[in-house]
Structure 1
Amino acid sequence: MTTKTKIRAPFKADQVGSLLRPERIHEARKNFQEGTITAEELRTIETEEIKRIVDKQIEVGLKAVTDGEFRRRFWHTDFMEYLNGVEGYIPEQGYQFVGVETEKYNVRVVGKVSFNPNHPHLRDFIEFKEIVGDRAIAKMTIPSPNQFFNAGIRNEDIYPDIEEYVKDIVQAYRDAIQAFYKAGCRYLQLDDVYIAGLCAPKLPFADSELEREKLIDLALRVANGVLEGKPDDLVVTTHLCRGNYQSAWAFEGPYDKIASQFFAKEKVDGFFLEYDDERSGGFEPLRYIPKGGPQVVLGVFTSKSGKLEDKETIKARVEEAAKYVPVEQICLSTQCGFASTHHGNKLTEEEQWEKLKYIVELSKEILG
């Protein structure tokens, strides 16, 4: 009998996933929309740029690398709209962030939801993994199943019973996880703005704290439901984000309201947590992380600015977090990716690489 070895991830220096799209990709997308290049010509350019940034990630010392989400426009809708029963569309308005409204695009359910075995992200991952080879771990990022519980996505004519909706979303993601595993994925990240949103002081879609608790319970049930039966040697992490669009954010609130449920009970190998400013609150909620359990990736570096954080401040913050969770379970990263959408945050590519290199250096110095 062959024993399957599980990689030890998240790594002490890790990353959320998305990277700034180079001007060459922006130009190629524009040319494709105008009909001056073909889809395959666009893909060739994307592939060349993915090869470049894989080399760069390895060069700065990252052990887990991504494709930068270079083939996507948005971190979530590109995956969601290619599930069966889901379509992308242009709504009347985008999401409201602090100081900016996002580009208008969303998804909605138009039929029974299931996983599409021909999902384009499978091809994307297979080609990406071939580029990486055995030089590093190829990390895949997809939106959490809980993103389907945001307002306006569920069609109540198709799913009048929320439990039927839950059942189909969970099964679609179980099938997705198995498909990515079969494609060679051993490190999968679920990006979850919905759960982080349940931390907000006031919820626009919940009239009481009791209603909030019900939503938290349901979200945990969905998150753990998709992980039932997952391969033992597949690392799965959750990334909690409060919004990341052109260096703007969507909401605030400490992790207190979800910690006793999610931190204690979500069956993942690690949590990527946003801690780059005061909106995230203190480290006290980390006391709910089981000792010897999930790794805690402290997002104490920001992806919203190119300025490098003060080394002594980072050391002090790690020491503070270590009061609540063993230092052996602490890792470091930015709080989010550098380009959750194709627009990207307000910093340069050079600043992006310098920050990632800095995280690797400080993780060795602080965490060993």
Structure 2
Amino acid sequence: MQRPKPPFRADQVGSLLRSPAVKEARTLRVAGEITAAQLKAVEDAEIAKLVARQEAIGLRGVTDGEFRRSWWHYDFLAGLDGVGLVSVAQGLQFKGTQTKAEGLHVDGRLGFPATHPMLGHFHFLKSVAKATPKMTIPSPTALHYRGGRQAIERSVYPEMEPFFEDLGRAYAQAVRAFGEAGCTYLQLDEVFVAYLCDPAQRDYLRSRGDDPDRLLHIYADLVNAAVSGRTPGMTISMHLCRGNFRSTWMAQGGYEPVADVLFNRMGVDAYFMEYDSERAGGFEPLRMLPKNKHAVLGIMTSKTGALESKDQLKRRLDEASKFVPLDQLCLSPQCGFASTEEGNLLAEEEQWAKLRRCVEVAEEVWG
């Protein structure tokens, strides 16, 4: 049967391809040719249209497509007290391409300001949505994994333990603030727990002085600190991914090494799980999913425009249901369509066809 509350049988991760109007307005704003207020007016109009289209195809949870962001994570994190967006020597290296050369630097005590701009972003989304408005923010682990110790001023945090404590506290404040703003569906985009499944990423962490096994437990504590701020009636989901930039990827490896901690120690309600390629491994780790939680299977790719057949998607759901009851499963694309403003390499109509297909299959499978 369909679910009256999140996660929905047909759901989505969050980011959507930026419309031409938004892309043009953001380019003009960077060039100084329009004001911040003019950019916001364009974004408001485009987000209202975007939400209406999501509702029209039958999605029960709608997002603002992250239309006001440049990155899936840096925009939110740079809005925290004590964090700045800085230029770095080179961008992040994906398979065959590289991002803009930007990063984060922690130069003060961490906190969540009451004036954080994304609270306003949520208020607007809620004002134009008839369906459930879903807010997406990066998991707190994103502030540590990318830069590690080197991106955190030793004069502010000589030891790492107070850094993690302050980060967890700031996130609890953020989660509570979104809840008080009326958010009942919040998602933590958790890329880096999935990265801990990749032997190459684990070697990279060791090379910079981090123990990947210990990090998994530190990250679980961080997530739990964040969700401690939840308000009554709030569903918190977690999205797991191995990299999504211009249709490329960064990490690989099945969920087995992290599954027990992921499912049984992290206090979220649902997991959006990348499962669109062999890089994510098999469905076997789902056997550890507790009865009171849901897995939203990302068996449809957001990296290409080729539309999966209904039979193909149903076959994959059948395979997964050997390890976890179908009633604990939902369906979505494996990631957003535009984790950065550049977006993946597919057309807008291909994006909408995939989301429609998701809704159609969910209706046929769950009624």
Instruction: Tell me the TM-score normalized by structure 2.
Output: 0.95
Is 2:180–2:231's contact at 8 Å kept on the other side of the alignment? no
Q: Residue 53 in 1 paired to residue 50 in 2?
A: yes
Match of 2:143 in 1: 148
Q: Aligned residue for 1:236?
A: 236
Please list the CA deviations of residues 133-168 of structure 1 after superposition, one character each: whole Å capped at 9, or x if unmatched.
xx2000000000111221423333321222101110
Contact 2:175-2:229 within 8 A present in 1 as well: no
The 1-side partners of 2:278 and 2:146 are apart by 27
Q: Structure 1 residue 229: deviation in Å? A: 4.6
Give the Cα–Cα distance (whole angstroms) in 1 for the partners of residues 262 and 152 of structure 2.
23
- Residue 183 of structure 1 is matched in structure 2 by 181
Structure 2 unaligned blocks of 5 or more: none
Residues of 1 paired with 2:173 and 2:327: CA distance?
33
Measured in 1, the distance between the counterparts of 2:52 and 2:92 equals 34
Which structure 1 residue ranges, 4+ long, deviate > 4 Å from structure 2? none
- Does the Cα contact within 8 Å between 1:148 and 1:154 map onto a contact in 2? no
Identify which range, 293-302 or 308-317, moves more after superposition: 308-317
**Residue number in structure 2 paired with 1:3:** none
Instruction: Name the amino acid aligned to 2:144.
Output: F
Aligned residues: 359
CA drift at 1:207: 6.1
The structure-2 alpha-carbon separation of the partners of 1:131 and 1:93, relative to structure 1 and needing over 3 Å to count, comes to same
Whole-angstrom distance in 1 between the partners of 2:275 and 2:366:
17
CA RMSD of aligned residues (A): 1.5
- Quick check: 1:143–1:190 contact (8 Å CA) kept in 2? yes
Q: CA deviation at 1:119?
A: 0.4
1:197 maps to amino acid:
Y
Identity %: 45
Aligned to 2:106: 109
Within 1, Cα distance between the matches of 2:321 and 2:77? 37
Match of 1:275 in 2: 275
1:31 is displaced (CA, Å) by 1.2
CA separation in 1, counterparts of 2:196 and 2:153? 22
How do 1:310-349 residues align onto structure 2 when only pairs under 5 Å count? Answer: 310-349=309-348
TM-score under structure 1 normalisation?
0.95
Q: Kindly state the Cα deviation for residue 360 of structure 1 after the two structures are TM-superposed.
A: 0.3
Q: Secondary structure at the match of 1:109?
A: strand
- Which position in structure 1 is the counterpart of 2:307? 308
| Aligned AA (2:329) | I
Question: Aligned with 1:246: secondary structure?
Answer: coil
Separation in 1 of the partners of 2:173 and 2:261? 25
Judge conservation of contact 1:7–1:235 (CA < 8 Å) in 2: no
What is the rounded CA distance, in whole Å, between the counterparts of 2:268 and 2:348 in structure 1?
Answer: 31
Amino acid at match of 1:92: A
Determine the C-alpha separation between the residues in 2 that align with 1:37 and 1:227.
39
Q: 2:14 and 2:25 mapped to 1: Cα distance? A: 22
Is contact 1:87–1:108 with CA below 8 Å preserved after alignment? yes
Secondary structure (helix, strand or coil) at the match of 1:239 reads: strand
Query: Partners in 2 of 1:7 and 1:157 — Cα distance?
Result: 49
The letter for the 1-side match of 2:88 is P
Residue 232 (structure 1) shift: 2.9
> Alignment partner of 2:232: what SS?
coil
1:89 aligns with 2:86: yes
What residue is the counterpart of 1:199 in the other structure? 197
SS of equivalent to 1:145:
coil
Please give the per-residue CA displacement for 1:215-242, whole angstroms capped at 9, x wherever unaligned: 1111111111222252231110000111
Partner of 2:32: 35
